[in-house]
Chains A and B, each alone.
Chain A
């Protein structure tokens, strides 16, 4: 318990150093731009694949489970869209990103720590926490919502492809289901969650990377810890936000 509070304290202190005005605006923008590019490009492929298949599986399972003639087949479209938008895209994709992006951030910053590059920054008088972590947090906050919206589209599309391919549900029924009772608020709700998750991913990974102590082995451990902690936090925050936003 003491150790836990200690970690939280260190995290808060680090964040107070991260969220300050960058010393050189121009350098910050260059950094941010590079991060956006690498985060976006790096994750696009895996997000596309997972989202499409996820949507397909949800649609097939829903169709499979409707055996009462009283339930219209358009429910398949409705259910797929709802589950993809409300839960699968924001939460599952964020968990995937916690693994992919989080481990990269933690190992990148951790390597800089153990090779004394962070010390070199500090010696020059650079606020290393701000210089290294801030652009990554901002980049995640900007790019993750884009990835999640992209994932929602592909999830719904994946469901449709599966229904077409298996002829379980007609396109008309599926499309009708998607539009049925569609509330823009659900997308808004999903994006709010995404923003919280994006902050968790980047800041927790930055934290574990920044406080790596030792050598290559510890860099590996730091990135594992980053993934585990941010995943658990995402699930907890998901529960809390769902309670607050949907009730």
Chain B
């Protein structure tokens, strides 16, 4: 469980996060949705401490992460897996080395044991026989899978995904979404996903937090979101040609 309490974040004079409080529960995929530039990435980076909050605090299972020193944070960081928007694979390493990296950095196991673990998680994301490929040789969907494998290699308690299906075709995007949801249930972890894709929202949105211009504007589930009367959320959900036509034809 992760809790954000009255978080504020400024970049110079730009007030990017405005007093955001929300709860992300264990065993669920918690979504943060909103338009591009609404502050999703900044919120996620504040939660994991890549950006410092200007006020407010972040709790990991009631442990006050915001008040911790670097060394204490490192302990929590090892319970965190994160999937970045472009994958953020290390370009100089092949697939296997990428997945093995956190293992060889933070465990004292033998290379063989780490290799086994890497192969296990690569198999979990349905990516076999790609161990020797370099990141530049992978397709978008494969990159995301490797990144997920690397994120779960250390058996994290918390999984963060920043727009996991950006740049993917709808089918592949769906596969990645479901993979994330399965992993969440299987390992019973706290998962937080940033997205602006309504397909993801409707398929994996156990808990949805809608951010509008840096404010937490609406909270609910994927089923409640279709009934919403909130005008800004309505605009976001039914803003595209496809969804607005569908809505008309239903009503």
Residues of A within 8 A of B (CB): 23-24, 27, 111-112, 115-117, 119-120, 122-126
Output the nearest chain B residue to A24 by Cβ-Cβ distance. Answer: B105
Give the bracket for the number of chain B residues in contact with chain A. 20 to 34
Q: Which chain B residues numbered 17 to 56 have a C-beta less than 8 Å away from chain A?
A: 45, 48, 50
A115/B88 in contact, CB under 8 A: yes
Segment among B73-81, B208-216, B224-232 that sits at the interface with chain A: B73-81
A122/B88 in contact, CB under 8 A: no
Q: Which of A116, A117, A124 has the most CB of B within 10 A?
A: A124
Q: Which chain B residues numbered 71 to 130 have a C-beta less than 8 Å away from chain A?
A: 73-75, 77-78, 80, 82, 84-86, 88-91, 101-102, 104-106
A116/B102 in contact, CB under 8 A: no
A23/B105 in contact, CB under 8 A: yes
A124/B105 in contact, CB under 8 A: yes
Distance between B208 CB and nearest chain A CB, rounded to angstroms? 24
Residues of B within 8 A of A (CB): 45, 48, 50, 73-75, 77-78, 80, 82, 84-86, 88-91, 101-102, 104-106, 154
Query: Which of the residues A23, A27, A116, A125 comes within 8 Å of B88, measured between beta carbons?
Result: A116
B105/A27 in contact, CB under 8 A: yes
Chain A facing B: main interface SS: helix
Chain B residues whose C-beta falls within 8 Å of the C-beta of A23 in the assembled complex = 105
Chain A residues whose C-beta falls within 8 Å of the C-beta of B88 in the assembled complex = 115-117, 119-120
Chain A residues whose C-beta falls within 8 Å of the C-beta of B90 in the assembled complex = 112, 117, 120
**Cα separation A115 to B88 with both chains bound (whole Å):** 6
Output the nearest chain B residue to A114 by Cβ-Cβ distance. Answer: B86
B82/A123 in contact, CB under 8 A: yes
**Cα separation A210 to B48 with both chains bound (whole Å):** 19
B105/A123 in contact, CB under 8 A: no
A125/B106 in contact, CB under 8 A: yes
**Cα separation A119 to B73 with both chains bound (whole Å):** 14
**Cα separation A24 to B106 with both chains bound (whole Å):** 8
**Cα separation A118 to B60 with both chains bound (whole Å):** 23
**Cα separation A112 to B84 with both chains bound (whole Å):** 13
Chain A residues whose C-beta falls within 8 Å of the C-beta of B82 in the assembled complex = 119-120, 123
**Cα separation A75 to B183 with both chains bound (whole Å):** 78
Query: Which of the residues A111, A112, A123 comes within 8 Å of B50, measured between beta carbons?
Result: A123
Q: List 7 A-B contacts (CB under 8 A).
A: A24-B104, A24-B105, A27-B104, A115-B88, A116-B86, A117-B88, A117-B90
A124/B102 in contact, CB under 8 A: yes
A123/B48 in contact, CB under 8 A: yes
Q: Which 5 A-B pairs have the closest CB atoms?
A: A125-B77, A116-B88, A125-B74, A120-B88, A116-B84
**Cα separation A123 to B51 with both chains bound (whole Å):** 11
A123/B80 in contact, CB under 8 A: yes
B84/A119 in contact, CB under 8 A: yes
Output the nearest chain A residue to B50 by Cβ-Cβ distance. Answer: A119
**Cα separation A111 to B91 with both chains bound (whole Å):** 10
Chain A residues whose C-beta falls within 8 Å of the C-beta of B75 in the assembled complex = 125
B77/A124 in contact, CB under 8 A: yes
A124/B106 in contact, CB under 8 A: yes
**Cα separation A122 to B73 with both chains bound (whole Å):** 10
**Cα separation A11 to B88 with both chains bound (whole Å):** 25
Output the nearest chain A residue to B82 by Cβ-Cβ distance. Answer: A123
**Cα separation A76 to B104 with both chains bound (whole Å):** 58
